[in-house]
Amino acid sequence: MTRLEAARTIVGVSLPAALSELSPSRRAALRRRLERLRAAYGREFLGTDPLGFVHGYDDPADQEIAGFIASSLAFGNVKAIRASVSAVLGAIGPSPRRFVDGFDPQRDGASLGGLYHRWIRSADLAGALHALRLMRGRAGSIGGFFMQGYAAGDEDIGPALASFSGRALDLAGAGERRHPGSRVEWFFPSPRNGSACKRLCLFLRWMVRGGDGLDLGLWRGVSPGQLVLPLDTHLARISRALGLTRRRTPGWAMAVEATRSLALLDPEDPVKYDFALSRLGILDLCLHGRDPLACRAC
């Protein structure tokens, strides 16, 4: 018997297979619970998230660059993430914009020497910063570069994200002074390859959403309703438990399916629950199915 089947047996109820199958009253009840979770884990918990680093800057250009760096390193152990983000932002100085706009990967790559996060090394970071410099030179900002591939009529952000990553890699590959040995493609995955693009979806959430003191809302031309959940292993498990997705394998298809389920609760801002749901893993509050009764109550 699986843990989910055990939970059904113990509590004597049948959990719905999908959120779309919930009655209006049960869907409203789930929305109330998620809203209570949002209220419990708001701005005061920014210090537990890499997004907290981005709020340390006032200039939108600095926030864009710091946000890209922080979201790109947002995988693995939480303590290690914070240490890595802090180290990289410390190395580039108080103005990420100034550092990136003057960055030459061959001349300045040594300033990143010794920095790493999991399998990302200083050469990879140099390649990513070089790509950001080229974006800013081409479009004036990272957001401006993203908007060159954005269409308001798209059902979700997938096509714009694929365009963004593809064009970023074209820029990085075409640069005559690309840092030797850099694997910049790790920073620019694409939904076309089935990737959940968790880190880029996280970056987009930070840049697009606003109004709640968490996300920054810098890219006002993009609709929050088109955003896709930044799906990692923890959120994939929670999404299945809530009936947001029937899929078993994390990837772009699961992220989109879970997001569309949340759009049944709020079509204009379906990813607004992401920060609060992520606290369950980051703060080690999720029991990972070890106690079916407690999990069902949660």
Q: Where are the beta strands (DSSP E) in the chain?
A: 116-117, 120-121
Q: Are residues 179 and 80 in the same domain?
A: yes
Q: How far is CA 108 from CA 15, 28, 80, 223, in A?
A: 56, 54, 25, 37
Same-domain status, 33 and 105: no
- Give the angle 277-229-264 at the CA atoms, nearest 5°: 85
With beta carbons less than 8 A apart as the criterion, state whether 208 and 219 touch: yes
Residue 210, domain member (yes or no): no
What is the C-alpha separation between 134 and 147, in angstroms, rounded?
Answer: 15
Q: Are 197 and 189 in contact (CB under 8 A)?
A: yes
| Of 228 and 244, the one with more pLDDT | 228
Question: Average pLDDT of the chain?
Answer: 86
Ranking 25-29, 235-239, 293-297 by mean pLDDT, the lowest is: 293-297
* Cβ contacts of 268 within 8 Å, gap of 6 or more: 223, 224, 225
Among 194, 216, 248, the domain-final residue is: 194
Please give the tally of structural domains in the chain: 2
Q: Do 91 and 56 share a structural domain?
A: yes
Same domain? For 89 and 145 the reply is yes
The string of pLDDT tens digits covering residues 224-233 is 999 999 999 8
Q: Please give the single-letter amino acid code of residue 25.
A: S
Residue 293 within any structural domain of the chain: yes
Within this chain, do residues 119 and 63 fall inside the same structural domain, yes or no? Answer: yes
Residue 285 has pLDDT above 90, yes or no: no
Residue 206 domain flag = no
233 lies in some domain: yes
In a domain, 221, yes or no: no
Cβ-based neighbours of 159, under 8 Å, separated by 6 or more: 149, 151
Q: Identify the CA nearest to 208 among candidates 143, 263, 150.
A: 143
Where among 144, 172, 194 does a domain terminate?
A: 194
208 falls within a domain: no
Q: Are residues 59 and 188 in the same domain?
A: yes
> At which of 175, 194, 213 does a domain end?
194
Same domain membership, residue 181 and residue 55: yes
State both tokens at 234.
Answer: 């923890």
Query: Which domain, by its residues, includes 96?
Result: 50-194
Are 61 and 23 part of one and the same domain?
no
Give the pLDDT band (50/70/90) at residue 11.
Answer: very low
Per-residue pLDDT of 181-226, as tens digits, reads 568 889 999 999 999 999 999 999 999 999 999 999 999 999 999 9
Percentage of the chain beyond pLDDT 70 is: 87
Collect all residues with Cβ–Cβ distance below 8 Å to 195 and sequence separation of at least 6.
189, 251, 252
Cα gap 11→259, rounded to integer Å: 28
- Do both 15 and 86 map to the same domain? no
Both 189 and 54 in one domain: the answer is: yes
| Nearest to 129, CA basis, from 149, 112, 150 | 112
Q: Using CA atoms, how far apart are residues 51 and 202, in angstroms rounded to an integer? A: 9
Residue 234 forms part of a structural domain: yes
Number of other CB atoms surrounding residue 125 within 10 Å: 27
What is the distance between the alpha carbons of residues 293 and 10, in angstroms, rounded to a whole number?
Answer: 7
- For residue 147, CA distances in Å to 135, 168, 230 come to 11, 13, 20
**Region of poorest pLDDT, from 6-10, 68-72, 238-242, 257-261:** 6-10
213 domain-assigned = no
Q: Which residue has the tokens 């693009």?
A: 197
Which residue would you say has higher pLDDT here, 97 or 19?
97
Q: Which residues pair with 121 in a beta bridge?
A: 116
Pair 79, 104 in one domain: yes
Collect all residues with Cβ–Cβ distance below 8 Å to 261 and sequence separation of at least 6.
Answer: 18, 19, 20, 239, 242, 243, 244, 245
Same domain for 35 and 70, yes or no, is no
- Mean pLDDT across the stretch 26-46? 91
**Neighbouring C-beta atoms of residue 42, cutoff 10 Å:** 14
